[in-house]
Structure formats: C-alpha cells, structure tokens
Structure 1
Amino acid sequence: MNDFIRSRIPSIASNLGTVFALTVATPLVVSLIAKFTLGGNKAATPYADTYIQNSDTIVVPIPFVTAITPIHKTFTSRAWFAGTAHTEVSTYSQICFYSPKYKRYLAVISFIGGYNVVQSETDEKFWYDVEKERSSIIYDSKTISAYVNRTQWHDPSYGTKDNPLPIFFIKSLTGLESCASETDLLTIKPSVNKRFVELYLAHGLKPKEFERLYGRDMERLGLNE
C-alpha cells in the first residue's frame, strides 16, 4: 500500500472516498465465477471490438464533485463453476456530469462485480475490486482521457441530461500525480475496457437501441449470424 492511499485511511473527505485498501476483498475464484457468461443482450457482445475500433480518445476536464451524479443499476448473470450454477449480482455504474468543453452531458461507464481486480499486497488470497473506487478516482482527477464511440458521438439523441453520452475511462491525467499505483488505480487495461464495452452493449443498451445504432453494421460484418 503506497503512502498516498495510506494517508487517506482515516476518512473519505478529501480524496479517493472509501479507501481502496479497505474495500471489501473478493477472493479471485469468487470474482471470476460470473464472468464466463455476460447475460443480458448477449447477441450484442460480438460487436465490442468494432465499437472500440470506431471510438476516439477525448480529454475531459472533471467538474466539482457536487456537479457529478452517480447512477447505479444492478443486474444478474449466471455461470457454471465446478458443475454448479451460480447467480452473481453486478452493478452497472454511470458517473454523469455536464461537460462545458463538449457542451453535452457525459457518463463514465463502469461495472462493479469483480471485472477489474488487483491482488492484495498483504494477503495474496484476496483481490480488490478497483471499480468500487472509480467514482472517487473520477472525483479526484482534474482531467481524464476517455474513449467515445463515433456513432453515439454524432447521434443527436445522446448528450442530454436524460441520455448522457457514454464514455469509457482510460487514464487519470492530472490531480493524482502522487499516487504510485498508476496501473491499479489510474489506468484501465485494454482487456478490462473490452469487458466493460461487452457489458455495456449487453446491459447498458436496450436491444432495440443497439439494433438502431449498430444493426446494419452487425449485418455488414456478419456478426449476427
């Protein structure tokens, strides 16, 4: 545990909210149980690579914490582990705010449920869910980089307060320079980003909306066969 995080253990007031090191630990085997199947609109998940390829990187200044609205929705998935069916509850998280730079509402997309975990430094049997701290990391970041899909970027129905434009966190650019755990806290691995896109397409978009936005492209690419 680095000094940056240790110094914030007493409270959540100034930085990182609830302390990363005190987040409820999840054994690795448990964190992986429900990750073999995604549930939701699974027909949309093959489009994840194309969604990412057709995305651009933007730099987003983060507003003051009171201007940020977190929205959380739970969903369930079922997987087979050791011959037994398990049902897991995960959380679809949107960190919403208005961006004066882009003149539209944005929502940083995240998923809590063992999709982005790191091993405990004190007990190798336990793994921590980084996304439980994503809101705090966003709050404390002055600027982040993020992916935005071009189709949604150019669709006028996105970017409103009721339908914020989804963006996917890449890296904290400023505000947390003293934190040494950059890989764990301040960046998203490409594999985790892909999983988040898969989950977003399956659980964040209604099937009719997915079809409206990407149905023709799915057909062109032969992904809906």
Structure 2
Amino acid sequence: MFSKIREVIAKRLEMLRHLAVHGKEHKPDLRRVSLAEFRRLRAKKERQREARLGLKHYLLLAGIRVDSHKVSKIIFNICVALNLLYSFYLIYNFSTSLGYTLAYVMVIMAIVWFLLFFIVLFLLFLGFHLILDLKIMHRQVTIEEVLPDYLQLVSANIRAGVPIDQAMWLAVRPRFGILAKEIEHVAKQTMSGIDLEMALQEFGNKYNSAVLRRSISLLIEGMHAGGEVGDLLN
C-alpha cells in the first residue's frame, strides 16, 4: 500500500517537474512573440502618425485649420454611406426587377464591400488632395500678387528708420488678405518665443514660390547686416 502511495507521489512530482520545465522553455517564446507584436503595433502607429502629419501639413498649406484625424473620419464615413446607398439599390433592383437568387446578391454585395469600397475610398482621398492642391496654388498666386505692394510698404518703413521686424508688422494691411494672415502668424510665433529668422524661413518654405523665398532671404540678410535693404526690396 505504501509502495503504491510512493509511486503516485513520484508520478505527481515528475509531472510537476515536467510542467515547470515546459513552462520555462516557453516563457522566452512568449516574450519574443509579445515583443514582435509590440514592434508591429508601434510601426503601425508610426505610419498612421506620419500619414496624419502629412495630411495636417496639406491642410495648413490650404489654410484649413481642422483636425486631420477628423477629416479622415469624415471621408471614411462618406465612403461607407455611398456603399450603403449603392448596396440598397442593388438589393432592391436584383430582388424585384431582375429576380436574382439570394446567393448571387450576396456575392455582388461582397464585391461591393471588399473591392468597390476601397476604390471609392481611394477616389475620395484623391479628389480631396486635388482640391487641396488647387487651394494651395490659389493661395500662392494670391500671395505673389500682393507681395510687391507689401514689400514697398516694408521698404518705406525701413527708410523711415523703423527696424525690419517692426517695419513688417506695420506694413500689414487688410487688403493683403492671405499674406496679412501669414505675417500675423509670424508675429504670433515671435511673441511666443520663436526666433524671427526661423519663423520667416518657415513661412518662406511653406509655399513653392521662388519670389517669396527670395524676398524672405533679403529680409533675413538685412537683419544680419543691419544695413539699408529698402532699395533691394524695391
């Protein structure tokens, strides 16, 4: 009897040792899997963040100050609504007029939601980016049209003995529109502690305009040299 009890206890101890060893062997694998999963999720979040930053940059260039995540969500909801409307139309048309079977209708619905959905979503984002590009181009042309008048006022202020930064703020007029708002944004940046040269360079690099970048370069050179830049601006 005691021998049987010892055998049972020995078997249980052997089983516990086996489970302990088996658990230790698999712990590193679980850690590796969790680490790989963490890296995959982190890379996915990084790609999403870069995409949002890219869209945010486009929105700022177009003068639209809204949350880029909200814009993406609106476009996605529009795509879902369009697919729902098209699905209801197909279901009604197939079931009443054409008389197709339920299996055929389900196959068409699967194609609509797994193929047409992504096509519509791509076209919506493409159209939205085209609209943003047109709006950015319009803002750039508008800035270049009023830039000579603005620079003449800046030049007149500099000739009157006003420092360059003050000459820029005093030259802002409501009729300059987009340019006036951009200069006001530069002024707000300098008031918040950002260097004026850095704020001007950011403004010059914001638009693909050689005239604007050249004018900003002249202003920065005048700030460094401390000389008269009124003639250069004219």
TM-score range, shorter chain: under 0.3
Of structures 1 and 2, the one scoring higher in RCO (CA 8 A, sep 6+) is: 1
TM, length-normalised to structure 2: 0.23
Q: Which structure dedicates a bigger proportion of its chain to helix?
A: 2
Q: Which structure dedicates a bigger proportion of its chain to strand?
A: 1
TM, length-normalised to structure 1: 0.23
